[in-house]
Structure 1
């Protein structure tokens, strides 16, 4: 999949041109994509930016406000780049010179029966590899991880692997779902496991600046990831059930009125 398209080049150019307004661009992206997390995050950047601008230049807080304003721009720009899957479209690379990508095709409406094209399955090999890496790290460091955390990591991998397997067989074609799944599998879960394993075993019970130990942080973060994995699993299979119902409606509308069996014109 490639992002080198004219539309994407224009989007990147505009993003660079309006870099200073990035704290306002992030919430706009969230509104367009109907992503409440991105909206809330963008609103925070916007509030900090506006608050920094509202401080008088002669105020004792002017220096601090300058850092806050500049920081809100930089952080929002970084987050805008991390959310690139939401605003940079992908173009499938064909095997021939004039090859074009095929969209994910659902069952046709009963009023317009037509041939059903097989959907193009996006590559999910990289997701499976990421999950395999996490599971391998957990097994190799079983005695380093807390017992509950070790079990939780393997359960999360198992749940996400089921979602990846379902996406491999029949992709939903939902960009938001694909973004959440990819981010969870390739970024969030590996980062938590990698970050904990980087801490020497003798320091995992030391209190950090926030008053928590590394073990406590690991348990809480794995709980959050487990809920996210269950959400993705439920969302994926809820959509699968809806697709099956749509298929049934199509078949009933197409063939349900026939009597004495189906007549396909075969003699």
Structure 2
């Protein structure tokens, strides 16, 4: 974007008019824009120029110090041009609202959000199983077996929901919570404990190993409950379909005769 604007032209013109005071330009920019770094840097150039003028005079070293301060301040002022010489926005940008970082983050699709619900559940469950196998040496053997069995049970429910959604909001909520929150949280919490402390008694009287075993047992029971709830619908649906067919077509006298004997 171009910096050729009326405001910028006036600023540059003023710099030219007050060129002898160029050494104070960075300090002035920093003060106006409240930029601490620019203020500190500008003080150095201004102090050098002031010493050259009021202490050393315009002879020999004074001239060199004064000119060096002016040159350094001018170069740095150009480097800081974004502070005091803003670029002109194109005319079409006036009609496009600036996007805040938060809006950009919301607009950017995340990998998890782009997945179908069933795929997201499968990915989360696969991650739990992967963590269990990878940390087999840190988890109790019974815990690994319980985790993998729970994952298999939940995976069967996920597959059934993917093939034929039940439409049960409560079941879907519990399934999501199990595979994306409860199971991963239990595994992460245990693995965060130093190995030297997994057998230490806690204020509740249990060791982390015992706590892990109990929590996995609860989760296993809940997974089995979801499995039973989901698959108990299949026989009921089959019975309902059978009742409908028997009522509609089960009586020969009410059926259409298509000439089939």
TM-score (norm 1): 0.51
Counterpart check, 1:230 vs 2:229: no
> Could you say if the C-alpha distance between residues 265 and 225 of structure 1 is closer, same or farther in structure 2, counting changes exceeding 3 Å?
farther
> Could you say if the C-alpha distance between residues 194 and 253 of structure 1 is closer, same or farther in structure 2, counting changes exceeding 3 Å?
same
Q: Deviations over 1:240-267 (max 9, x none)?
A: 21111111112222222247x976799x
Contact 1:149/1:219 (<8 A) preserved: yes
- Counterparts of 1:187 and 1:236 in 2: how far apart (Å)? 20
- Counterparts of 2:257 and 2:123 in 1: how far apart (Å)? 48
Structure 1: which 5+ residue stretches go unaligned?
A: 1-121
Residue in structure 2 matched with residue 132 of structure 1 by the alignment: 126
- Counterparts of 1:194 and 1:201 in 2: how far apart (Å)? 13
Residue in structure 2 matched with residue 176 of structure 1 by the alignment: 170
> Could you say if the C-alpha distance between residues 251 and 215 of structure 1 is closer, same or farther in structure 2, counting changes exceeding 3 Å?
same
Residue in structure 2 matched with residue 186 of structure 1 by the alignment: 180
Residue in structure 2 matched with residue 142 of structure 1 by the alignment: 136
1:14-29 to structure 2, matched below 5 A, reads none
Residue in structure 2 matched with residue 17 of structure 1 by the alignment: none
Counterpart check, 1:195 vs 2:189: yes
Counterpart check, 1:246 vs 2:232: no
From the CA coordinates, give the structure whose radius of gyration is larger. 2
Counterpart check, 1:220 vs 2:219: no
Q: Deviations over 1:207-248 (max 9, x none)?
A: 222221110110000000011011111111111211111111
Shift of 1:169: 1.0
- Counterparts of 2:189 and 2:245 in 1: how far apart (Å)? 51
> Could you say if the C-alpha distance between residues 195 and 263 of structure 1 is closer, same or farther in structure 2, counting changes exceeding 3 Å?
farther
Counterpart check, 1:157 vs 2:157: no
> Could you say if the C-alpha distance between residues 178 and 265 of structure 1 is closer, same or farther in structure 2, counting changes exceeding 3 Å?
farther
CA RMSD of the aligned region, Å?
2.3
- Counterparts of 2:133 and 2:229 in 1: how far apart (Å)? 29
Q: Secondary structure at the match of 1:208?
A: coil
- Counterparts of 1:228 and 1:264 in 2: how far apart (Å)? 52
Contact 1:163/1:233 (<8 A) preserved: yes
- Counterparts of 1:265 and 1:140 in 2: how far apart (Å)? 66
Moved over 6 A (4+): none
Shift of 1:138: 0.4
Q: Deviations over 1:74-116 (max 9, x none)?
A: xxxxxxxxxxxxxxxxxxxxxxxxxxxxxxxxxxxxxxxxxxx
Instruction: Kindly tell me the number of residue pairs found equivalent between the two proteins.
Output: 145
Structure 2: which 5+ residue stretches go unaligned?
A: 1-115
